[in-house]
Amino acid sequence: MKKIFAVILTVVMMATLFVGCNGSDSSSSKTKKVAIIQQVENGAFNDMRAGIIKGLKAKGYISSDKDVDYQCADGDETNLNTITQSVANGDYDAVFTVATPATQSMVNQESDIPVFFCAVSAPVAAGVIKDMDKPDMNATGTSNAIPVEEIFGLAKQMTPKAKNFGLLYSSKTDSAVNTVEQAKTYLESKNIKYTEGAVVEDSEIATTVESLCKKCDAIFIPNDAVMQGAMSTITEIARENKVAVYGSSATMVDSGCLGTKAIDDIGIGEKTADLASKYFEGKKVEEIPSIVVPYDYITVNKDDAKAIGINLDSIDFGKDTVKQVNDAKN
């Protein structure tokens, strides 16, 4: 009888052990502790964050938004540094950073936690990696390298008489400076005149735009959170002067710019999550190349076109998908 009891007890213990082991391989063990850091909240960055979360959910690494430690610096550089220091000292499986400033701040912490950046337009120039194909600073991610040549091609379609472009940007934003350098190179190659409007302080934006409007037929703005924050002011002045403004994101167009060739913001977030999944599945960060995400569609603002006298129906946009929007209340 004792032998029978011992056998039964052994079977029960083995079954319990099996269930326990089986449970450790369940979806709950796949859950990761992740943080997402933004310098500032705006439509584009929020959509990118939503895309990251969507991608992580689809892969089973989180079950809800509550599984993500989201932190925003509200545009304050000191806050951003405090946040990245805190995260660097945490026990996260991965950190996602949206756009250049947040990525630079996090990478500069030199943490052992891998960084997956989303929408850094010039990762090498920004100093967050040294090689796109072989990331070497415990960071990799997606680049929304601005399709400068294509945007100026769109400008030629929409405003063919524009002979002098204003280049409006924050001189403190590395990615914006890099994109403007690309724009200058392109414009010089086509013998197109340009006037730079570099802004140091936010208080200079309005006067800089007014100055550019007196000299230029159109204005180009790179991906720049500083300029996005002042978009209503910029477009109001430009409309009064009948000057077209070309942005570098769909959010800029929603906020009043005339048009751009845009990357889907939720889509680039999902692609960033896909890169992180390769790490979670066993690859080293340096084995996961950073990728440049191409533009998805043309977006144009109907309100702006009407204000400066452009008939969108008369423009041939070719085979590109075109989204026509009105001013959004951001």
pLDDT at 13 over 60: no
Q: Which of 131-145, 149-163, 201-215, 316-330 has the lowest average pLDDT? A: 316-330
Q: Comparing 43 with 288, which gets the higher pLDDT?
A: 288
- What's the whole-number mean pLDDT along residues 32-43? 92
Residues in Cβ contact with 317 at an 8 Å cutoff, skipping those fewer than 6 apart: 157, 298
Instruction: Tell me which amino acid residue 37 is.
Output: I
Return d(Cα 155, Cα 158) in angstroms, integer.
5
Strand 297-301 versus strand 259-262 pairing type: antiparallel
Q: Is 176 exposed, middle or buried (0-12, 13-18, 19+ CB in 10 A)?
A: buried
Reported as a single tens digit per residue, the pLDDT across 55-72 is 999 999 998 888 899 999
Are the beta carbons of 50 and 268 closer than 8 angstroms? no
Q: Token match 């269930």: residue?
A: 19
pLDDT at 125 over 60: yes
Q: What is the pLDDT of residue 29?
A: 62
Are the beta carbons of 34 and 96 closer than 8 angstroms? yes
Radius of gyration of the chain (CA): 24
Return d(Cα 153, Cα 246) in angstroms, integer.
11
pLDDT bracket for residue 5 (50, 70, 90): very low
- What's the whole-number mean pLDDT along residues 126-155? 95
Domains of the chain, with CATH numbers? 31-144+264-292 (3.40.50.2300), 148-262+296-325 (3.40.50.2300)
Q: Token match 């940007």: residue?
A: 169
